[in-house]
Structure 1
Amino acid sequence: MQLRSPAPTRAPRLVSLGVVSLFATLAILLSGCQPRTQLEQVDSDVSRGQTSVNAVGTNKPLADKPLTIVALGDSYSSGEGNAPFDLDAASCGRGANAWPRLLGQEIAGSTVRLLACSGAKTTAFTTSFHGQPPQVEALRALVASGVKPDIVTITIGGNDAGFGSTIVSCVVWRCFWTGHDDNKRKYVTKQLPSLLKTAYSQVKAAAGGARVVVVGYPDLFPSSTANICKWLDNNERVQLAGLNNDLNRVIRRAASQSDVDFLSINRVFDDHKLCTKDPWVYPVGLTGAGLEASGHPNASGQRAIADAVHAYISKSK
């Protein structure tokens, strides 16, 4: 995801930079910092790391044959941080080792069309972004050209709120001090669901009968005993982990209401989260390539997500 926000003017927090996830913090900011009330009654399978299948119809195992896979969405599908990048979409951060491409390598003879773009919001599905055609339009064009996708994957929603300045403040000062927490939470619980449902429905309609799999976002924050970050106190850690789950619950619910699959990858980074000794996520950088990679899966993280999606599509509904 792309963030270009200046640091706040308050006195700097005396911590070492390089260990906060820009993406996970944005996901949390989307959910706000108040006690969970809106989503308490939703099934708890996401927070437990279980997978969910919400599609109608019969989904037979697909990974025993070559597949055509089309990957849509944001930087959590494009492979941001994992160079080299596609030259024909330089601003999209489409990495050679993005998990959709690793997934294709795991299934012999498969073809992967990577349409995801770093920084994409739900609007990128219907309008041009970073010089690329709308992702739904690009998918529809592939189908019209004779490409028949077996699987269409989606990661989207983490960029829609756009709270870059608060993300920076998590490192240099404190998270959630701007006074806009309630507004951000209301956005995620009141406005984001309809945007997600519309996006998922549009993809399903354009996918030519392919199985559509919405992939959630991983839980990036460690247990209290594993946490080695001085900037992350226990209250913040609990809030961040819980609120990231709230975002995933919103995504899961929208997928269910759109009759597409949802795959939770909450636990894919267990023992390798941010603020642990062996993270599978890039540390924060405040400028250049480090900023772009911040909070995104590194090579090990990309492989872990590819393995999780491979296992999922290998199973029947």
Structure 2
Amino acid sequence: MTRSRLLTFTASLATAFTVLVALVATPAQAASTVRYVALGDSYSSGVGAGSYTSESGSCQRSTKAYPALWAAANVPASYAFVACSGATTTSVTSSQLSALSSTTTLVSISVGGNDVGFADIMRTCALYGTTQCVAAVQTAEDKARASLPGLLDNVYNAIRSRAPNARVVVLGYPVFYQLGTTCIGLSATSHAKINEGINLVDDLTKAAAGRHGFVFADVRSIFVGHQLCSGDKWLHALNFASLGISYHPMATGHSGGYYPVFRTAAA
């Protein structure tokens, strides 16, 4: 090979190497600017998904929950996973917001279900009849209309105050039951009333997120066909041996439902 050809070949190799390095490095460099904090309740911590981290204790933060899946795929510059089972708007404000700062660029949160008594409602519906179930949901709906907008405004104001530069993604709840199917357990009337209550909470949450300029990530449509009473459910049914996971997403509900919806909303 002549000297001129050798120089040309060497230059070509150098160019190719530079392009390859750029292609490999660009995603990591882009991800390194993201400082992500995951707030919220059990639907964010991953109750029902299994694989809970030892440090999380009763908060039951799962490595299979959507925040952990997003962090693993995107390698943010910093990541704080502080969502906790049982969290309410008040406990998020008092015990989780210290993870936020002016450098936070991305926040996720699901909250509000415990403020209107999701868990108690589902226990009432499971243990008693249709009349008691419908009454419990109606009481929760009345409470939600009266108090949930203000409670959400409080926590959202606090998030914005502590993380003024962040993109905030508010995730809703999946509607539990696929209607029009034969299903053992609660009555069709109870199924429909429970779905009605969840839709109300989601709609109030969506409106509150909009008031604050936050993104509402609606998971309801992606769970259609994967609800309770469907053939391929992503939610745990009532489990008397482990009541805490009842009506929560399985790992598949996070990987197939919450994660893709959050990934799109966070972009």
TM bucket by the smaller chain?
Answer: 0.7 to 0.9
CA distance in 2, matches of 1:188, 1:176: 20
Paired residue for 1:270?
224
> What amino acid is the match of 1:138?
A
In the alignment, which residue of structure 2 is the partner of 1:206?
Answer: 162
Between 66-75 and 236-245, report the one with greater CA deviation: 236-245
CA distance in 1, matches of 2:100, 2:66: 19
**What residue is the counterpart of 2:265 in the other structure?**
312
How far residue 163 of structure 1 moved from its aligned partner, in angstroms, is: 5.9
Deviations 1:89-121 (A, max 9, x none): 201010111111111223255643211000001
Q: Per residue, is there more helix in 1 or in 2?
A: 2
Q: Is the 8 A contact 1:104 1:111 kept in 2?
A: no
The answer to whether the 8 A contact 2:218-2:261 is kept is: no
**Which residue number corresponds to residue 105 of structure 1?**
72
The answer to whether residue 115 in structure 2 is matched with residue 154 in structure 1 is no
Q: What amino acid is aligned across from residue 54 of structure 2 in structure 1?
A: L
Q: Residues 161, 102 of structure 1: CA spacing in aligned structure 2 closer, same or farther, 3 A cutoff? A: same
Residue 168 of structure 1 is matched in structure 2 by 123
Q: Does 1:283 align with 2:250?
A: no
2:187 is aligned, of 210, 233, 241, to 233
Q: Which structure: larger Rg? A: 2
Q: Report deviation, 1:208.
A: 4.1
Which one-letter code corresponds to 1:170 in the other structure? Answer: C
What amino acid does structure 2 have at the position aligned with 1:258? H
Q: 2-side partners of 1:243 and 1:63: how far apart? A: 42
Alignment partner of 1:294 is 2:246: yes
Q: Could you say if the C-alpha distance between residues 276 and 245 of structure 1 is closer, same or farther in structure 2, counting changes exceeding 3 Å? A: same
Cα displacement string for residues 255-303 of structure 1 (whole angstroms, at most 9, x for unaligned residues):
122222212111121211112222111222124xx21211111111110
1: CA distance, partners of 2:140 / 2:190: 17
Please report the TM-score for the alignment, with normalisation by the length of structure 1: 0.68
Q: Contact between 2:141 and 2:197, CA under 8 Å: does it hold in 1?
A: no
Show the counterpart of 2:62: 95
CA distance in structure 2 between the partners assigned to 1:220 and 1:182 by the alignment: 16
Q: How many correspondences in the alignment? A: 237
8 Å Cα contact 1:79/1:98 also seen in 2: yes
What are the equivalent positions in structure 2 for 1:1-317 lying under 5 Å apart?
65-66=30-31, 67-108=34-75, 111-127=78-94, 134-140=95-101, 143=102, 148-162=103-117, 164-175=119-130, 177=132, 179=135, 182-224=138-180, 227-287=181-241, 290-304=242-256, 305-314=258-267
How far apart are the structure 1 equivalents of 2:185 and 2:206? 31
Counterpart-to-counterpart distance in 1, 2:142 and 2:193: 17
Describe the shift of the 1:180–1:173 C-alpha distance in structure 2 as closer, same or farther (beyond 3 A).
Answer: closer
Q: Hey, which bits of structure 1, 4+ residues long, moved more than 6 A?
A: none
Q: Which segment drifts farther, 156-165 or 183-192? A: 156-165
**Structure 1 residues 109, 196: CA separation in 2 closer, same or farther (over 3 Å shift)?**
closer
Identity percentage over the alignment? 30
Contact 2:36 2:107 in 1 (8 A): yes
- In structure 2, list runs of 5 or more residues that go unmatched: 1-26
Change (3 A) 1:69 1:238: same
Contact 2:44–2:83 (Cα < 8 Å) also in 1: yes
In structure 2, relative to structure 1, the CA distance for the partners of 1:138 and 1:82 (3 Å cut) is same
Shift of 1:181: 5.3
TM-score by length of 2: 0.80
